[in-house]
Amino acid sequence: MTVLTHARITPPLAYYDGLYSFQQDVFDTCMEHADNAHDAHGYTRAMQLAALAIAIDLPASGTIVKCACSHCGDCDAIFDAASPGLRRVEPSGPYNLPRYQCTACTDGHPAPHED
């Protein structure tokens, strides 16, 4: 692992590819539910279930997301949406869920819309 001197990278909470397939299924479903939730209660519940499914504690921010990096396409980092140093990705629709690049991608790539 390379040592980065400029930014402190917050490690992801989990890696999607490291999950069992049933965990991935539940996680995906929960993310969809959170995305389409009509109220805060439904959103929170979906997030709690997502965290439960991947065996982590839901961070204080109440939102975990999978990296939405468009450079890697399939970066599998799952992290706290309130981690420092994240870059927000343009949402592609009217969703609840924020889209972020993980800290490693934010650090490693240019912004998706700057090239």
Q: In this complex, which beta carbon is closest to Zn ion, that of residue 51 or of residue 65? A: 65
9-28 positions binding Zn ion, by CB under 5 A: none
CA 14, 18, 20, 25 dihedral sign is positive
- Among 63, 19, 57, 81, residue whose Cα is nearest residue 102: 81
Q: Which of 71, 84, 88, 91 forms a contact with Zn ion (CB under 5 A)? A: 71
Q: Which of 56, 72, 82, 111 forms a contact with Zn ion (CB under 5 A)? A: 72
Q: What is the DSSP letter of 101?
A: E
Residue 89 is a binding residue for Zn ion (CB under 5 A): no
Q: In this complex, which beta carbon is closest to Zn ion, that of residue 46 or of residue 103? A: 103
The two structure tokens encoding residue 79? 């992290």
Q: In this complex, which beta carbon is closest to Zn ion, that of residue 8 or of residue 71? A: 71
Is there a contact between 108 and 33 (Cβ–Cβ < 8 Å)?
no
Q: In this complex, which beta carbon is closest to Zn ion, that of residue 39 or of residue 115? A: 115
The owner of tokens 């890697």 is 72
Q: Which of 31, 51, 67, 89 forms a contact with Zn ion (CB under 5 A)? A: 67
Shortest Cβ 2–Zn ion spacing (Å): 15
Amino acid letter for position 96: N
Is there a contact between 65 and 97 (Cβ–Cβ < 8 Å)?
yes
The site for Zn ion (CB under 5 A) is made up of: 67, 69, 71-72, 75, 77, 102, 105
